[in-house]
Copies of this chain bind each other. A is one copy, B any other.
Amino acid sequence: MDRRLHQVFHPASVAVTGASPFKSGQLFLDSILASGYHGKVYAINSRGEEISGMQAYRSVADLPGPVDYLICCLPAQAVPQLIRDCATKQVKVVSIFTAGFAESGTQEGGRLEAEVAALARQTGVRVIGPNCLGAYCPASGLSFTADFPRETGKVSYACQSGGNSVYVTRAAAYRGVRFSKVLSYGNACDINECELLEYFAQDKETEIVALYIEGVCDGQRFFKALRELCEQKPVVVLKGGYTASGAETAASHTGALAGSDSVFDQLLHQTGAIRVYSLEELVDMLVALDKLPDLDGNRVGIFGGGGGASVLATDDWAGAGFVLPPLPGPARDKLRGMVSTEAGLILRNPLDLSSFAYSEGFYGLIKDLLTLDDFVDFSVIHIGFGQAAWFSTSVFDSEINLFRDAVARLQGQVNTPLIMVMQYLISGWDWNKGIEELQRGLAEAGVPVFYTMSSAAKTMARLLRFCERRRLRREEADIQA
């Protein structure tokens, strides 16, 4: 295993250069200080002035001890000399936040980036970027934001865009996903997506891989690395610049050459990677992979929505290729005895039990359905907060914990997977806070939560195709063995 990529995520000491008050350097420094980083931290600025309560050094040479990982916020022109200084100091990894390199489209930017890449090769200093945020690794307390979780997890994520690395990590974290390693790697002048895929394949802490790319440095190596990785672990790929116009924007962003999307799509399909088309879809897919076991089939049971919501839910799931089996006869008879006919309840699948969706009886019933019969392959609990005509904040607050506990308990009692669709209504209501707490509670209990029926159905269809393909591949391998 490449020790130097290991050090990208597990440095024993970190320095930030360009750490001046109110500049990006201070933001990087503060993020590390707030994230519980385990090693030694140094600040560097040209005047040697105090920053965030630390005495800064004037240069890399002045640092009193060894540095594994250095974050660079200096202007682009100063970067080549910095790499030389880092080589002298035996710094192992330099993460370059600075932009204005190849992505600028200027001759000077291109020349500078080539110089940095050549220096990396010559000196052995590994370079992340330029034009990136660098590494987040909760196991070592390294982070480029102050609000990412401190707990480690199963997902590793290589991302060519800084903003997209932040969005996905944050949004997935809020839904209960935890990360092993995230690398925002920008222009990829040294460490690139190929090396990262090879590393994630070997890394025992990485069980699921996410990738946001705009271009590929070496197509052959990329597809070989991706194919080998996909044989071991699920990989989700979001490719920015898949339209002709998008490819032009990508060239301005990271200097990436996007290439033909139909060729890319074909090759991607051959590897077995799961392709998505937006940040929201990427997050949904990570939630499903992180929280759910293998899906065995396409039969879905839907519980709890209102009448019109059930009709639309049926369209969403049937449209995505799923089958909604009818309720088993005995369950239906039992139900008839339980419900009043005051509101128009649909005693089929979807099971519209909106009038007592939050009661113990409801969950007892679902449990019976899901444990006694071979009824479905997985289930959806649907809560449409925006559809309720009458809503008492006080009742809601008292019921929300009961509800969370009931769903979490149900998940432990049934032997088929369970997902939740919380059709979140973005609004200024008082009870939005309660819904956020409910989601957080469910995420902590390991329940995968989605925000719309159609995004849940799309994600589960992708998961099912992935599981079917993996099962087939394993069966073929068994036959050959």
A residues within 8 Å of B by Cβ? 24, 27, 31, 73, 75-76, 98-100, 103-104, 131, 133, 144-147, 159-164, 166-167, 170-171, 174, 186, 212, 214, 240-246, 248-250, 252-254, 277-280, 305-312, 314-319, 323-324, 341-348, 350, 352, 354, 384, 386-391, 423-429, 432, 436-437, 439-440, 451-454
Q: State in angstroms the CA–CA spacing of A390 and B350 once bound together.
A: 43
8 sampled A-B residue pairs with Cβ under 8 A:
A31-B389, A99-B342, A131-B344, A171-B427, A245-B324, A253-B308, A253-B344, A277-B315
Query: Across the interface, do B243 and A348 meet the contact criterion of CB distance under 8 Å?
Result: no
Query: Across the interface, do B31 and A346 meet the contact criterion of CB distance under 8 Å?
Result: no
Q: Which residues of B contact A133 (CB under 8 A)?
A: 389
Copies of this chain in its oligomeric complex: 2
Query: Across the interface, do B144 and A348 meet the contact criterion of CB distance under 8 Å?
Result: no
**From B73, B160, B277, contact of A308 by CB (8 A):** B160
Q: Which residues of B contact A241 (CB under 8 A)?
A: 311, 314-315
Query: Across the interface, do A354 and B253 meet the contact criterion of CB distance under 8 Å?
Result: no
Query: Across the interface, do A389 and B162 meet the contact criterion of CB distance under 8 Å?
Result: yes
Query: Across the interface, do A252 and B348 meet the contact criterion of CB distance under 8 Å?
Result: yes
**From B163, B388, B428, B429, contact of A388 by CB (8 A):** B163
Q: State in angstroms the CA–CA spacing of A480 and B58 once bound together.
A: 81
Q: Which residues of B contact A214 (CB under 8 A)?
A: 308, 311
Knowing A27-B390, A308-B240 are in contact, say whether A315-B246 is a contact too (CB < 8 A): yes
Query: Across the interface, do A306 and B99 meet the contact criterion of CB distance under 8 Å?
Result: no
**From B145, B311, B391, contact of A389 by CB (8 A):** B145
Query: Across the interface, do A244 and B318 meet the contact criterion of CB distance under 8 Å?
Result: yes
Q: Which residues of B contact A160 (CB under 8 A)?
A: 308
Q: State in angstroms the CA–CA spacing of A348 and B361 once bound together.
A: 59
**From B324, B354, B390, contact of A31 by CB (8 A):** B390
Query: Across the interface, do B344 and A103 meet the contact criterion of CB distance under 8 Å?
Result: yes
Q: Which residues of B contact A389 (CB under 8 A)?
A: 27, 31, 133, 144-145, 162-163, 166
Q: Which 5 residue pairs of A and B lie closest in terms of their CB atoms, listed nearest first?
A: A161-B308, A99-B344, A163-B387, A163-B306, A100-B341
Knowing A254-B307, A427-B170 are in contact, say whether A346-B452 is a contact too (CB < 8 A): no
Q: Which residues of B contact A166 (CB under 8 A)?
A: 386-389
Q: State in angstroms the CA–CA spacing of A314 and B247 once bound together.
A: 9
Q: Which residues of B contact A314 (CB under 8 A)?
A: 241, 243, 245-246, 248-249
Q: Which residues of B contact A426 (CB under 8 A)?
A: 171, 174, 424, 426, 436, 439, 451
Query: Across the interface, do A341 and B104 meet the contact criterion of CB distance under 8 Å?
Result: yes
Query: Across the interface, do A280 and B344 meet the contact criterion of CB distance under 8 Å?
Result: no
Query: Across the interface, do A145 and B390 meet the contact criterion of CB distance under 8 Å?
Result: yes
Q: Which residues of B contact A163 (CB under 8 A)?
A: 305-309, 354, 384, 387-389
Q: Which residues of B contact A454 (CB under 8 A)?
A: 277-278, 280
Query: Across the interface, do A387 and B310 meet the contact criterion of CB distance under 8 Å?
Result: no
A19 to chain B, nearest CB (A): 14
Knowing A161-B306, A311-B240 are in contact, say whether A318-B145 is a contact too (CB < 8 A): no
Query: Across the interface, do A167 and B31 meet the contact criterion of CB distance under 8 Å?
Result: no
Q: Among A163, A323, A344, A390, find the residue whose CB has the most chain B CB atoms closer than 10 A.
A: A344
A285 to chain B, nearest CB (A): 15
**From B104, B144, B390, contact of A344 by CB (8 A):** B104
In the complex, besides A167-B425, A242-B315, 6 extra interface pairs with C-beta distance below 8 angstroms are A145-B390, A174-B426, A245-B323, A254-B344, A426-B426, A427-B436
Q: State in angstroms the CA–CA spacing of A439 and B426 once bound together.
A: 10
Q: State in angstroms the CA–CA spacing of A352 and B250 once bound together.
A: 12
A196 to chain B, nearest CB (A): 16
Q: Among A253, A306, A345, A428, find the residue whose CB has the most chain B CB atoms closer than 10 A.
A: A253
Q: Which residues of B contact A428 (CB under 8 A)?
A: 174, 436-437, 440
